[in-house]
Each structure stands twice: as C-alpha cells, then as structure tokens.
A and B are shown apart, each in its own frame.
Chain A
C-alpha cells in the first residue's frame, strides 16, 4: 500500500513539473514584458516594478527565469499582484484557495451523495420510465450552460423567493466592525467541515467492532449527530456564529449550482458501471440464494460498481475546475476561478500565473486523494 502511494506521489511530482513548465512557457509566449503592465497606474512606483523584475528573475535569460519560477513556486515567492498592488500574490492566493477548495469539497460530496444512489437506483430499474426521466434530467443538468443555470437560480431564489443574496462572499453591512477577520471565520468553518468529514470517516472505524449491522448503523448515525450538535453549539456560543452563518448563507447558491451540474456525471457513470456489474454471475447467485433485492443491489452490486466510477471521476476533474471559473464568476464568489479570470482580463500576469499554478496543485492533490481512496477501496490492489 505504502509503496503504491509512494509511486503515485513520484508520478504526480513528474506531472507537476511538466505542468509548471507548460504554464511557464505559456506566459513566456505572451507578447511584451509583463512588468510593463499597469504602467499608467500611479500607485505602482517604477522602483517596485524594478524590484519585481529582479525578484522574479526577469532580467536573466529564459532558462534563468524558469529556474527562478520553479524555485519561487516552492518558496511561495510569486511576486506582487498589480491589481491589488502592495499585496503579495501568495497572500491573495492564500486567501482565495480555501474558498474554492471548500466550495468544491462540499458541492462534490453532495453531488456524489445524490448521484451515487440515483445511479444505483436507475440501473436497477433500467428501461422503466423512471430510468429515462432521471437519465434525461441528469444529462440536462450535466450539459446545461452554467451561466444559464446561475441566472435561473439567482432569479428563483434571490429575486422571486428572496431567500438568498445575489452573490458575493459576505454581507458588507454586517461586517462593519467584526471582532475577527472574515478569513479567520472562514478558516474556522473549513476546519469544522473537515472535522465533521473526519468524524464521518472515523465513525466507520470506531464502530466496526459492533457485530450486528443495525446497532452499528445507529451508533454511526449517533456519532455524526453528536458531532454536528457539538459543532452547532460551539458556533452558537462563540459569539461569531452570526458571521459564520452569513458566509454559509452566501455559500448556498454556488454550492447548489455546482452540485446540480456535477451530480449528473457521477450518476451516469454509476449507472453504466452498475449495468455491467449486474450481469455478473455472482449477482445471479446472490439473487438465487434468496437475498432481498435491496441487499443484492446495495451490498453486492453497488460496491463493485463504485470502483470504475471513482476512476472516471478523476478524468472529469479538470472539467470541474473549468466549470468553477464560471460558477464563481456568476455568484461573485471570490475564489481562485474568479481571481484568475479577473487577473487574465486585467493582464495581472503574476497573479494569473500564481492562480493557474495553484489550481494545478489543487487538482493534483485531488488526484492523489482519489488514488489513495481507490487503493483502500479496491481489495485487488495490494502492493
């Protein structure tokens, strides 16, 4: 197992270097010298421009610049953003990366929680009317033009129903004199979400000694409810609960949009994979033994069918990140995607380069997580 993970990490490092090289060459191919951008901006003094050029190694040859760039990526020394002038690129990315990561983590888990059972269900009832209806709906959401979905969601939930604000990261009027910075609150929220996820995963390990399946399920659910309750009470009495709620409230619509877009992918993959599995002999055996349909479907077929679904999930990761740019822009969620788009449009190249690099790192990390998960789930992998 460890050897397998180590081998994957080595491979991912090679891919990462190639990725860095491509990003570097791409920005190298840009016409002109990018330190000359924003030359009309009086807030950026020429000395700063000179200092930036030296810091990024832009004075040397292409090879020097490349070495500089790779070193800078690993030390977080990515230069100064032109758009937010005195701020460091790394500083901006440090602020924006968690927002994107949390948005996609929550939305993708929800999409999986929706797509996996639906896929299982429609594969089991293939050819029925429910199969066609759910498949067509899934495809429709999967291929919907993302801005259109965002407009419809904003129209329904924000204009007609008035439940949510039309975007942004927080309500400015509420945050006039906050006791802590939004970033701290957001990081604490992230920690809460990760903690709950950890508890969910850990509950499987904690309760595996319980012999009978029914008390085991109840113990697991109890643990989860307990964790959720503790988290809610802790936030309630911390005094910053209303600030946290404000951020969560703003997260609803983007999360809903990403969930709706990506559940179809998981569902269709699960359906196809399930259709292949239920032709296997052991499914017939399980049915012949007189096991209930539900047990055959959930325990025998779905678990095997899950593996190809996870593999194919990694193929769609780049697509999900691309879609993230659109979603974030539509809901003015200041994550990596929106920052990247703005940086590209404003020709703020140090920031754009940083965003692209760190989006790549995020995708690679996700790849690694999925690989490790796969190694755990697939009993055939035993390196």
Chain B
C-alpha cells in the first residue's frame, strides 16, 4: 500500500533540477572569482548600448544627422570635428558624423564578429581535440603538427596577405579567423583535457556496452570537455575583436563602420598627430575596443576558476 503513494518524478524534471542546481553552484563559484562578474558587467553595458541604438534612432535622433555612416550635421558645417556638446555627447568625426552613434552602432558588429569567430573556433577545436585524443596515432600527429604550424604564424601578418586573395568583409573575416585559430593552440589544450577523460572508467564501460567511436566521442568525451571549450571561447572573442580592430585600424578590411575604422578615419584625416586636441576622435573607440576585449578576457578567467578546481580558494 505504501509503495503506491511514492510518486515517480518524470526524468526531465530530475534532469532540470540537477542542471539548475549545478548552475547555481557554478554561478556561486563564478561570483566568488570577483573578476568574472566585473567582465560580465562590462559586457552587459555594451549589450545595452547595442540595444539602445535602434531605439534612439527611431525616437530622439534624426537619421539624417545621426546615421553612423551617412549622417551629417549641417548646423556645425566648417566646425567638424566638433568637440563634445549636448547635441553630440562625444563630438563629431572629421566628416561630420556623430561619434556616439558610430560607437553604439559598431557594438553590434563587434559582438557578431567575436561570437561567430569564437564559436567556429571552439566547434572545430573541440571536435579535433576529442578525435585526436580518442584515436591517437597518425591522426593525432597530423593535427598536432598542424597546430604547431598555425601557432607559429603571426596571425595579423597572415590576414594582411590574405586580404588581397579573399575579399574580407565582416562575416568572411569571422569565418577565416574562426577556422584558422580552430586548428591552432586550442586543439592541443582540448586534446590534453580529452585525454584525461578518455582514461575514465565510464569510457571503458561505454565501450564494453557496445558504443561506437562516434557515440562515445559525442555523448561522453565532448560533454566533458565542453566547459573548457566554453572557457576558451571567451579568450577567442578577445582575440577576434582585437584582430578585427587592428586590421580596420590599418584600413585593410571592407567593413563600413567599426571601432577600428573610427580611429582609422581620424588618422587618415590627420587628426591623430595632435593627440590631446582631438581626443574624442580616438579615445572613445580605443577605450571601447580595450574594454570589450578586457571584459571577455575577465569572464574567461572567471570561468577558469569554475572549470579548474585547483584555481579556487582553499
């Protein structure tokens, strides 16, 4: 009679509860790292900037004046680049466009580029790391030597040449960077992690139960190296945003507007020579690039303390 009263919980409910619990635990660890939340805060700030731009354009800002690419303020003709004022909180650039609007508009493309490129890198890196660790042998050797080679290449130098072969716009740049760094150092780190998973007893058990190589890699190895992949994704976002900014700063990309291009515009119009006088041309975009890279790196380090128990407080 008693046994009938025990209510059997559905499996999905248990799973949900367990994952919620682990999320709470990990969040506490992440919060404890202090620097992780700081980075997350900065990222949220940029997300807010990104969301605010279309709203401002639709309500307060006149598109003819404030459009990040085509805008021009006729009220200030002859006085561009104009210093910060109430109408233009961060001033205008040499061709009369609003700096704040450009800054906010570019946030979207920086996020798109960083996240796309990092996702591609991590997917490739995780797959290759898991496959190399599981099979070993010749496959392992080939990919490890390839990683050595990719690590040897100065990335920015390579992209500078590549740009005359491929027409690099935002998405292609994300793709190229993602693929290239996916075969780089990340495979070595993830393979090392996958090797520690491979020797666990449950892999043996899965093999004995008749699991195929594909099944074991997909359901046992990859989920276990996933946290580390996620961590490296953060560092890769930093790398991608930085690389894009440097290339745009040199004027090597086919992107209409980005933070790097904003500094490039200031430089090619000759306003970078007098540093202090026209600070609003280089300081806001430079600070934005730095802060976004900084934030993703901090989040990465914060996640590091979650993933790597040896880095936690004793």
What distance in Å separates the Cβ of B85 from its nearest Cβ neighbour in chain A? 23
Tell me, yes or no, whether A326 is within 8 Å of chain B by CB. yes
Q: In the bound complex, do residue A151 and residue B275 qualify as a contact, i.e. CB atoms below 8 Å apart?
A: yes
Q: In the bound complex, do residue B275 and residue A30 qualify as a contact, i.e. CB atoms below 8 Å apart?
A: no
Q: In the bound complex, do residue A359 and residue B154 qualify as a contact, i.e. CB atoms below 8 Å apart?
A: yes
Tell me, yes or no, whether A173 is within 8 Å of chain B by CB. no
Q: In the bound complex, do residue A315 and residue B149 qualify as a contact, i.e. CB atoms below 8 Å apart?
A: no
Interfacial residues of chain A within 138-157, with CB under 8 A of chain B in the complex: 139-140, 142-148, 151, 154-155
0/1 string, B46-74, CB within 8 A of A gives 1 = 00000000000000000000000000000
0/1 string, A201-229, CB within 8 A of B gives 1 = 00000000000000000000000000000
Main secondary structure of the interface of B (DSSP, over half): helix
0/1 string, A339-358, CB within 8 A of B gives 1 = 01100110100001000100
Q: Nearest A residue to B275 by beta-carbon distance?
A: A155
Among B35, B164, B246, B250, which residue has its beta carbon within 8 angstroms of that of A31? Answer: B164
Tell me, yes or no, whether A230 is within 8 Å of chain B by CB. no
Would A140 and B294 be within 8 Å (CB), given that A147-B263, A341-B250, A356-B157 are in contact?
A: yes
Q: In the bound complex, do residue A318 and residue B154 qualify as a contact, i.e. CB atoms below 8 Å apart?
A: yes
What are the residues of chain A within 8 A of B156 when measuring CB–CB? 322, 325-326
Interfacial residues of chain B within 257-280, with CB under 8 A of chain A in the complex: 263, 272, 275-276
Tell me, yes or no, whether B153 is within 8 Å of chain A by CB. yes
What are the residues of chain A within 8 A of B151 when measuring CB–CB? 315, 317-318
A interface, size bucket: 35 or more
What are the residues of chain B within 8 A of A318 when measuring CB–CB? 151-155
Q: In the bound complex, do residue B157 and residue A325 qualify as a contact, i.e. CB atoms below 8 Å apart?
A: yes
Q: In the bound complex, do residue A275 and residue B154 qualify as a contact, i.e. CB atoms below 8 Å apart?
A: no
Would A139 and B301 be within 8 Å (CB), given that A15-B145, A147-B263, A318-B151 are in contact?
A: yes
Tell me, yes or no, whether A29 is within 8 Å of chain B by CB. yes
C-alpha gap A86/B277 in the complex (Å):
42
Q: In the bound complex, do residue A319 and residue B310 qualify as a contact, i.e. CB atoms below 8 Å apart?
A: no
What distance in Å separates the Cβ of B142 from its nearest Cβ neighbour in chain A? 11
Q: Nearest B residue to A154 by beta-carbon distance?
A: B275
Among B155, B161, B242, B304, which residue has its beta carbon within 8 angstroms of that of A143? Answer: B242
Q: Nearest B residue to A159 by beta-carbon distance?
A: B275
What are the residues of chain A within 8 A of B165 when measuring CB–CB? 26, 29-31
Tell me, yes or no, whether B148 is within 8 Å of chain A by CB. yes
What are the residues of chain A within 8 A of B185 when measuring CB–CB? 315
What distance in Å separates the Cβ of A359 from its nearest Cβ neighbour in chain B? 6
Q: Nearest A residue to B148 by beta-carbon distance?
A: A15
Main secondary structure of the interface of A (DSSP, over half): helix
Q: In the bound complex, do residue B313 and residue A126 qualify as a contact, i.e. CB atoms below 8 Å apart?
A: yes
Q: Nearest B residue to A27 by beta-carbon distance?
A: B161
Tell me, yes or no, whether A85 is within 8 Å of chain B by CB. no
Interfacial residues of chain A within 24-38, with CB under 8 A of chain B in the complex: 26-27, 29-31
What are the residues of chain A within 8 A of B293 when measuring CB–CB? 143-145
Interfacial residues of chain B within 215-251, with CB under 8 A of chain A in the complex: 238, 242, 245-246, 249-250
Q: In the bound complex, do residue B275 and residue A132 qualify as a contact, i.e. CB atoms below 8 Å apart?
A: no
What are the residues of chain B within 8 A of A19 when measuring CB–CB? 149, 152-153
Which B positions have Cβ atoms within 8 angstroms of A?
34-35, 38, 145, 148-149, 151-158, 160-162, 164-165, 185, 238, 242, 245-246, 249-250, 263, 272, 275-276, 282-283, 286-287, 289-290, 293-294, 297-298, 301, 304, 310-311, 313-314
Task: Write 19 A-B pairs (CB below 8 A) sorted by A numbering.
Answer: A15-B145, A19-B152, A22-B149, A30-B165, A139-B298, A143-B294, A145-B245, A145-B290, A146-B246, A147-B246, A155-B276, A160-B276, A275-B310, A318-B153, A322-B246, A325-B156, A341-B160, A345-B250, A356-B157
